[in-house]
Structure 1
């Protein structure tokens, strides 16, 4: 992933990239030209209005000269940075290296993807979602990539970017989330895009709760204990303590705030080791059955010998999705502000009428 590149092969590959990964020269040069012209205009304008040549030797005059000089230098430098960045993106070097890496490891590579149709929480959050550098096995059992989406609109919008890895499980399981405590904010707040009701939290034995906050649907506590045996908890602590984990339907997702589909060989080595270590243990989860879908029974077989009939694979409706936390605090504050504003307005109206 870091070796020399065949320039001829790179030119051929570059032509296959979608347009959003190969912006035209116009999209690169025009913003840079605007910045350059704007810097000249601002300097000329300030020279006429302020009179740079008339500035004295006081501290304020030196500060003004420094400010004008900074803007004069900063805007052209920023223009050059934009041009260099645009030309680098157009090269497609990153995508070319990842494509060759995927071919060498029998993976399918998609440099840019429309929103991924996964039920995981990062794939259902926000809008204007886009997948980048998606690696997947031909069977779809393992998918690794980067994902971004936008929350809010206008001046209040913010973009969120995640790295993710997903493996397919042998059966559908209850919706379970492991919120890693190691990547929480400075004040202990979760970095997950969704919050869940606190009555769904389950404390597990040992040190597991020091590394993860586990959420499972109410009534599925014993099922979570069956799935997360001490040896499986140890695997998650040893290999995924900095990752958030979600089990939903028949897939397991690992979430990270940094790219997981990357050109860094060390990241790939760590990620593959993590997926292999978890996969060895979670294979046993295929034996789990939801008792709410039926009881285990012993019936007479076709040959007259008794046989065990187990419930079908799947999860009852109550266990398929966690209950999200309602932002009631924000709602109460909003209503309080509205009532306060209404009271103030009515008070002004009454005072005007009583004059």
Structure 2
């Protein structure tokens, strides 16, 4: 089981291998009994200096740093698993791509989709919170954060776009911006634009009231929302840092607010 998307075991292995290789090269050079006479002495000093520095760096920096990172990964994995169990959820450090209908899960050209840090309800399939959703496209790694919540009743297709756009995914869902936005309650229209691609008239406060909009804004820039079928999807242009207590609390406060609307 890998505790996170990025496995620091490779860093540990490369540090050990680098230290071993450097020691072997030092031993070979020492056993050659080459004379330290000019002008070849400069080459010998450079040879022993390079592999000596490589040995010291791997042993004193590389191996301790990778050991600390591995410890931090497994510590976070244990804490998040315990949190999930206490609150009657399951926690998966990593899993394959999702089969949801949301836009993030059907990006054109996406390859090798995968999710990390998945919280899922044990009592119902109503929600899951994910810290990281990734895929490869055009030899680049693309990363998202998302929440998926089942409201239990059919909803029209709605798209909520944040006005505070992060550079990453700045054009995401931009195709809906050609239609006229729906007026949001309170200060919501200062933070977001709401569109109804299906053309169905809806009272925005039924789904996106001012309290929920304020919580969504608190997650940062690049927060977009989409309703499809019975599900509400929240997308973040950056992965959610679920190892931070403040972030985790904010995510589940949003889940509770949305589930209060569930019928």
Q: What is the CA distance between 1:71 and its match in structure 2?
A: 7.7
Matched, 1:258 2:239: yes
CA distance in 2, matches of 1:219, 1:33: 61
Q: After superposition, give the CA deviation of every residue in 1:48-94 in whole Å (9 maximum; x if it has no partner).
A: 99948999xxxxxxxxxxx99998876666632563156426x7322
Q: 1:135 aligns with which of 103, 111, 119?
A: 119
Q: 1:165 aligns with which of 120, 129, 147?
A: 147
Q: After superposition, give the CA deviation of every residue in 1:73-118 in whole Å (9 maximum; x if it has no partner).
A: 76666632563156426x7322222222112111122222111221
Query: In structure 2, what is the equivalent of residue 228 of structure 1?
Result: 204
1:99-178 maps to which residues of 2 (within 5 A)? 99-125=81-107, 126-138=110-122, 139-153=124-138, 157-178=139-160
SS at match of 1:219: coil
Query: In structure 2, what is the equivalent of residue 240 of structure 1?
Result: 216
CA distance in 1, matches of 2:40, 2:255: 64
Structure 1 or 2: more helix by fraction = 1
Higher relative contact order (CA 8 A, sep 6+): 2
Q: After superposition, give the CA deviation of every residue in 1:159-195 in whole Å (9 maximum; x if it has no partner).
A: 233332222113222222212123433xxx8546554
Q: What is the CA distance between 1:20 and its match in structure 2?
A: 8.4
CA distance in 1, matches of 2:76, 2:2: 14
Per the alignment, do residues 203 and 29 of structure 1 end up closer, same or farther by CA in structure 2, a change over 3 Å counting?
closer
Is the Cα contact below 8 Å between 1:150 and 1:160 reproduced in 2?
yes
CA distance in 2, matches of 1:132, 1:115: 10
CA distance in 1, matches of 2:62, 2:7: 16
Q: What is the CA distance between 1:18 and its match in structure 2?
A: 5.8
Query: In structure 2, what is the equivalent of residue 330 of structure 1?
Result: none
The structure number with the bigger radius of gyration is 1
Q: 2:257 aligns with which of 268, 272, 277?
A: 277
Which runs of at least 4 in structure 1 moved beyond 4 Å after TM superposition? 18-25, 37-41, 52-55, 67-78
Is the Cα contact below 8 Å between 2:92 and 2:118 reproduced in 1?
yes
Q: What is the CA distance between 1:227 and its match in structure 2?
A: 3.3
Structure 1 alignment gaps of length 5 or more? 1-16, 56-66, 287-355
Q: Give the TM-score, by structure 1 length.
A: 0.54
Q: What is the CA distance between 1:28 and its match in structure 2?
A: 5.1
Per the alignment, do residues 54 and 129 of structure 1 end up closer, same or farther by CA in structure 2, a change over 3 Å counting?
closer
SS at match of 1:259: coil
Q: How many residues align?
A: 239
Q: What is the CA distance between 1:120 and its match in structure 2?
A: 1.7
Structure 2 alignment gaps of length 5 or more? 30-38
Over aligned residues, Cα RMSD in angstroms? Answer: 4.1
